[in-house]
Structure 1
Amino acid sequence: MEKIQYPPSPRGQHVDNYHGEIVSDPYRWLEDPQSADTQAWIQAQNALTFEFLESIPERSQI
């Protein structure tokens, strides 16, 4: 089986300050499901997923 090449998941620079505790949230951008970047990421992930699922020979039997 070939090694799966996942679409890139860019890391942002977002950080929150919770009562003086700095917490990095590099994937905060994914929390907006309507953004163009999130939509593109979802489409790329779905394309990879469905390509893999369709390649399973036993899938039609399941």
Structure 2
Amino acid sequence: MPLFKMSVGNILDMKEGDFLPMDRRATSSVLIKTVGVPLFRGVLGESEGRKAVKIEELVRDERA
């Protein structure tokens, strides 16, 4: 799974159904984290011919 950078502001603006572009072909579930903290679960796929992650749920931080 490739790693990439996004600003925290862009991550906070995300909602269910948003897509993240990916450079790799896959169809598995992914966990999106920042600074080691899980934020979202999603599924790798395609959107408009580009690889993407479809956000399916917000992950609650159990430590909070």
* Superposition TM-score, scaled by structure 2 size: 0.26
Bigger Rg, structure 1 or 2: 1
- Where is the strand percentage greater, Structure 1 or Structure 2? 2
- Higher relative contact order at CA 8 Å, sep ≥6: structure 1 or structure 2? 2
In the superposition, the TM-score normalised over structure 1's length comes to: 0.27
The structure with the greater share of residues assigned to helix is: 1
